[in-house]
A and B are shown apart, each in its own frame.
Chain A
Amino acid sequence: MIFYSPDFLLFLPVVLVICFLVPKRVQNIWLLIASLLFYASGGIQYLPFLLLSVTVSYFCALACEKYPDKKRIALLIWVVWGLGLLFAMKYLPFAYSLLSRFLGVLGISGETPRFSTFLPIGISFYTFSTIGYLMDVYRGKIKAERNFIDYGLFVTFFPYVLSGPIERAGQILPQIKAGVIYSFENIRQGACRMLWGYFLKLVIAERLRIFVDRVYGEYQAYSGVHLLIATVLFAFQLCADFAGYSEIAMGAAKMLGIDVMQNFKAPYFARSVSEFFKRWHISLNRWFVDYLYIPLGGNRKGKWRKYLNVMITFIFSGLWHGAGLCFVVWGGLNGLYMVVGDMTKKARESFKRKLGVRTECFSYRLWQALFTFAAVDLAWLFFRADSLRTGFGILQKIFLSFKLESLIDRSLLTMGFDGYDWMLLCVSMVLWLIVDSLREKGNFYRKFLEQNLLFRYLIFMAGLFGILVFGVYGPDFAAGAFLYFQF
């Protein structure tokens, strides 16, 4: 059941209404049942893995608290169990292919075993969520949850179980325990968030997907300019897709009175790569910082160890996104940006001082944002490419087959986009830019809801019908699932 399917648009009001009607003590039971139904709609065969993860992590946390002297064992059991399962499901074929390549170099070859492609949906998200919970219990930051229903709901809550945000128990469990808070304000704010999420997903991301898929699918047939445009547009497609998903998730949770962490904060406004990762997939990056980078020693063990820790963290982040060398390169590149950025920081500062560069003006900030975007987008190229060979092939074409005439020879109108699509895309992107700028300045939704009724209704209806008319969905389009479903 994906967020923009008619099923979900029916499911959510039903969940809300029933939650409203049942007694408060039954609300969490109902929400847990609804969340499990939501999850099972993506494949009932995946449900046992989720239930097993919930149960084992629940008991491990209790054991962690009850036997403080053996809490390391309890934590280890869950980390090994959770990561082991994730590794077996997601990374075994990749690890085997790397190993066989290595053995091939040594002249040893063997029969290739067949690996199952069975990968429970959302496993990367809920495994990380439960590991985070266990780590917090282990560190004594939170108490182990005794109520199985509440804990189960924390892990399986339908707005984020499939694609995040990777929530923290300390943030969500108190809200779950307080029970669903119904308010007109929450419903309105939630609806506005969802509407914006649908706009990002259906009007921008899905439209961009048509162009990007076409160009990346047959990259040999296109010029460097086309590939560059597709690479730039992919950055926006991915952002609109995932930020759209997160907004819908936040909106759906908000309707039930639960505040879920904001996962995206206008990432392309970032003026450095490190700032970018504070704005992009915030829940995952914080997870890696809290549960990998810091345990590795963070920046406490000297400069070179810090750089090593950064590289390890980013390479693992890449691998979390997918089992493939492209993702390793994506993570490695971003790690490298961070390391090089840190290493050259002093030199850059002194260079700017000597040249008298004004750093507090708009043009400088714009330059920084564009430079950061270019660096991040180069990494996205490998993230999107089917293989390393394709990634380097595309990069080579961008530089060696750069024909500016491709911009004016109308070829851009033959890649699944016509003039109307380009026009609509420009208008949508400008709207996105405006809304993100306003959101930078405060609570956009609350401010919007403070406006007069007629204005609110007109804007809401324009948004709703705009999405329904200009969105890419329905039987005419084989709309893709949210990109982050596969991670």
Chain B
Amino acid sequence: MGKVVVLKKIIYVILFAAFLFGGVILLNKWLCFKDGSICSGDERVKTFQSLPENSVDVLIVGSSHVMCGMNPVIFWEQEGITAYNLATRAQTLPFSYLYLKEALKTQSPRYVIMDAYSVMDEKEQYGLINNEDHFNMNMGSLPFSMGKAELIEKYIPFRERIYYYIPFLRFHSRWKRALEMQPDNPGIFLGFCCGEDETEENVSFEEPYSLGREERAPLEAVDLEYLERIIELCRKEEIPLIFIKTPVNASKEQMGRFNELGDILEKEGIPFVNYMELYRETDFSYREDFRDRTHLNSRGAEKITTHFLEFLKEYDLAQTGGSLKDHRNETGFDFWQQKSEAYHAHQRERGREE
């Protein structure tokens, strides 16, 4: 075979591979995971990716507890701080680590607020990492990365991995839905979920029992591993990390794990703003500010966010002399103002505001 013939064949193979690769990428975009719910990562990730680079001051990462409990609109309205809530349903620490890594590719926030939810529930028992639906719900919206590949290799059985590496093979039957227009999901503002009407009913609880500050329960290995990696990543990127836990009805054992986490964070010199205890310092009410068993309603979120913002300001002043700036009168931050207005319009429409 002459050199020209060999060269031609190599070019054919490269062209073929390019066609194949291009097609796979396009189909992965077209037929990716979409659960369409208010708690999915679809819209949050899409909006986050559209933000101007390095425009986010405070990045909130975690589960639906912070998704419904930390409202970035309040950050903007009260202090002109640009915050974004990159939370997904039952996001455990391995996923949070990946979200954080992905977010840091385009943003360099002043603070990372990490949800402590992960330690609350047993991962294996509730399928919080290796369950297919859960994995897709958390990972489906994220682009392919080495971090994602690591999680697939770690938690997905060998035979199923192909559906995670080439997700359209898993979701190809959604072509019918993909042909129909997908409406934007109302009720998501800068990642904050202010609820849908039917789930917005208040659920009233008694004041929690003595929360047992003395209780201790060991953390799962997976939490310890990713806690360490998150801390390491933030240190490497020189971004202060703050852990938060919004109020929730926890069992004694769960409380023990939160306390154990608190001990570890204390040793690491990382603040843990635990509203399981701190709620007493706010006007938060277990009777009025929950929308369901574990999630706050928008009123509860407003109370917790406002209190947290006070803490953040003080902490920022003490640590850096005030690195968080008010962007409200600066140009290039219209997006936050628009989202803030949209949020209030949404609330008015649902009769939650005058």
Among B12, B16, B27, B159, contact of A468 (Cβ-Cβ < 8 Å): B27
The number of residues on chain B lying at the interface, defined by a beta carbon within 8 Å of a beta carbon of chain A, is 22
Residues of B with C-beta under 8 A to A420 = 175-176, 179
Known: A461-B20, A474-B170, A475-B170. A469 touches B15 (CB 8 A): no
Among A7, A461, A468, contact of B172 (Cβ-Cβ < 8 Å): A468
Among B16, B20, B173, B176, contact of A474 (Cβ-Cβ < 8 Å): B173
| Shortest Cβ gap from A182 to chain B (Å) | 12
Which B12-49 residues sit within 8 Å CB-CB of chain A?
Answer: 12, 15-16, 19-20, 23, 27, 31
Residues of A with C-beta under 8 A to B23 = 461, 464-465
Residues of B with C-beta under 8 A to A476 = 170, 173
Cα of A474 to Cα of B20 in the assembled complex, Å: 20
Residues of B with C-beta under 8 A to A468 = 27, 168-169, 172
Cα of A229 to Cα of B316 in the assembled complex, Å: 72
Q: Are A477 and B9 in contact (CB under 8 A)?
A: no
Cα of A182 to Cα of B51 in the assembled complex, Å: 53
| Shortest Cβ gap from B33 to chain A (Å) | 12
Q: Are A474 and B169 in contact (CB under 8 A)?
A: yes
Cα of A184 to Cα of B10 in the assembled complex, Å: 12
Q: Are A469 and B170 in contact (CB under 8 A)?
A: no
Which A452-487 residues sit within 8 Å CB-CB of chain B?
Answer: 453, 457, 461, 464-465, 468-472, 474-477
Closest to A471 in B: B172
Among B20, B159, B160, B175, contact of A469 (Cβ-Cβ < 8 Å): B175
Q: Are A469 and B168 in contact (CB under 8 A)?
A: yes
Which A409-450 residues sit within 8 Å CB-CB of chain B?
Answer: 418, 420
Among B12, B163, B175, contact of A453 (Cβ-Cβ < 8 Å): B12
Known: A468-B168, A469-B27. A475 touches B163 (CB 8 A): yes
Interface contact tally, CB-CB below 8 A: 45
Cα of A472 to Cα of B176 in the assembled complex, Å: 13
Interface residue B162 (Cβ < 8 Å from any Cβ of A) = yes
| Shortest Cβ gap from A206 to chain B (Å) | 11
Residues of B with C-beta under 8 A to A461 = 19-20, 23
Main secondary structure of the interface of B (DSSP, over half): helix
Q: Are A457 and B168 in contact (CB under 8 A)?
A: no
Residues of B with C-beta under 8 A to A475 = 132, 160, 163, 170
Most buried by A among B31, B169, B172: B172
Q: Are A477 and B15 in contact (CB under 8 A)?
A: no
Interface residue A6 (Cβ < 8 Å from any Cβ of B) = yes
| Shortest Cβ gap from B92 to chain A (Å) | 22
| Shortest Cβ gap from A466 to chain B (Å) | 10
Known: A418-B176, A457-B15, A476-B173. A6 touches B9 (CB 8 A): no
Q: Are A457 and B176 in contact (CB under 8 A)?
A: no
| Shortest Cβ gap from B176 to chain A (Å) | 5
Known: A6-B162, A465-B27, A469-B27. A474 touches B19 (CB 8 A): no
Interface string of B133-176 (1 = CB under 8 A from A): 00000000000000000000000000110110000111011011
Residues of B with C-beta under 8 A to A471 = 172
Q: Are B176 and A184 in contact (CB under 8 A)?
A: no
Residues of B with C-beta under 8 A to A6 = 159, 162
| Shortest Cβ gap from A228 to chain B (Å) | 27
Residues of A with C-beta under 8 A to B169 = 468, 474
| Shortest Cβ gap from A472 to chain B (Å) | 8
Main secondary structure of the interface of A (DSSP, over half): helix
| Shortest Cβ gap from B78 to chain A (Å) | 46
Q: Are B176 and A469 in contact (CB under 8 A)?
A: no
Cα of A6 to Cα of B170 in the assembled complex, Å: 12
| Shortest Cβ gap from B191 to chain A (Å) | 29
Residues of A with C-beta under 8 A to B175 = 420, 469-470
| Shortest Cβ gap from B218 to chain A (Å) | 35
Q: Are A457 and B16 in contact (CB under 8 A)?
A: yes
Q: Are B19 and A457 in contact (CB under 8 A)?
A: yes
Residues of A with C-beta under 8 A to B179 = 420
| Shortest Cβ gap from A194 to chain B (Å) | 15
Residues of B with C-beta under 8 A to A469 = 27, 31, 168, 172, 175
Q: Are A453 and B27 in contact (CB under 8 A)?
A: no
Cα of A7 to Cα of B159 in the assembled complex, Å: 8
Cα of A465 to Cα of B166 in the assembled complex, Å: 12
| Shortest Cβ gap from A324 to chain B (Å) | 34
| Shortest Cβ gap from A202 to chain B (Å) | 10
Q: Are A477 and B168 in contact (CB under 8 A)?
A: no
Residues of A with C-beta under 8 A to B170 = 474-476
Known: A461-B20, A469-B168. A477 touches B173 (CB 8 A): yes
Cα of A471 to Cα of B15 in the assembled complex, Å: 25
| Shortest Cβ gap from A450 to chain B (Å) | 15
Residues of A with C-beta under 8 A to B163 = 474-475
Interface string of B231-267 (1 = CB under 8 A from A): 0000000000000000000000000000000000000
Q: Are A184 and B9 in contact (CB under 8 A)?
A: yes
Residues of A with C-beta under 8 A to B176 = 418, 420
Residues of B with C-beta under 8 A to A464 = 20, 23
Most buried by B among A7, A418, A453, A477: A453
Residues of A with C-beta under 8 A to B173 = 472, 474, 476-477
Most buried by A among B15, B173, B176: B173
Cα of A418 to Cα of B173 in the assembled complex, Å: 13
| Shortest Cβ gap from A91 to chain B (Å) | 36
Cα of A474 to Cα of B179 in the assembled complex, Å: 20
Cα of A265 to Cα of B16 in the assembled complex, Å: 30
| Shortest Cβ gap from B173 to chain A (Å) | 5
| Shortest Cβ gap from A471 to chain B (Å) | 7
Cα of A457 to Cα of B160 in the assembled complex, Å: 29
Residues of B with C-beta under 8 A to A418 = 176
| Shortest Cβ gap from A81 to chain B (Å) | 38
| Shortest Cβ gap from A30 to chain B (Å) | 24
Cα of A97 to Cα of B195 in the assembled complex, Å: 64
Interface string of B110-134 (1 = CB under 8 A from A): 0000000000000000000000100
Cα of A20 to Cα of B320 in the assembled complex, Å: 65
Residues of B with C-beta under 8 A to A477 = 173
Closest to B176 in A: A420
Cα of A420 to Cα of B179 in the assembled complex, Å: 10
Residues of A with C-beta under 8 A to B172 = 468-471, 474
Cα of A420 to Cα of B169 in the assembled complex, Å: 19
Which chain A residues have a beta carbon within 8 Å of chain B's beta carbons?
Answer: 6-7, 184, 418, 420, 453, 457, 461, 464-465, 468-472, 474-477
Question: What are 27 A-B pairs with beta-carbon distances under 8 A?
Answer: A6-B159, A6-B162, A418-B176, A457-B15, A457-B16, A457-B19, A461-B20, A461-B23, A465-B23, A468-B27, A468-B168, A468-B169, A468-B172, A469-B27, A469-B31, A469-B168, A469-B175, A470-B175, A471-B172, A472-B173, A474-B163, A474-B169, A474-B170, A474-B172, A475-B132, A475-B170, A477-B173
The 6 closest A-B pairs by CB, nearest first: A420-B176, A469-B172, A476-B173, A461-B19, A465-B23, A6-B162
Given contact pairs A6-B159, A7-B159, a sample of 14 additional A-B residue pairs in the complex whose CB atoms are under 8 Å apart = A418-B176, A420-B175, A453-B12, A457-B19, A461-B19, A464-B23, A465-B27, A468-B172, A469-B27, A469-B172, A470-B175, A471-B172, A474-B163, A474-B172
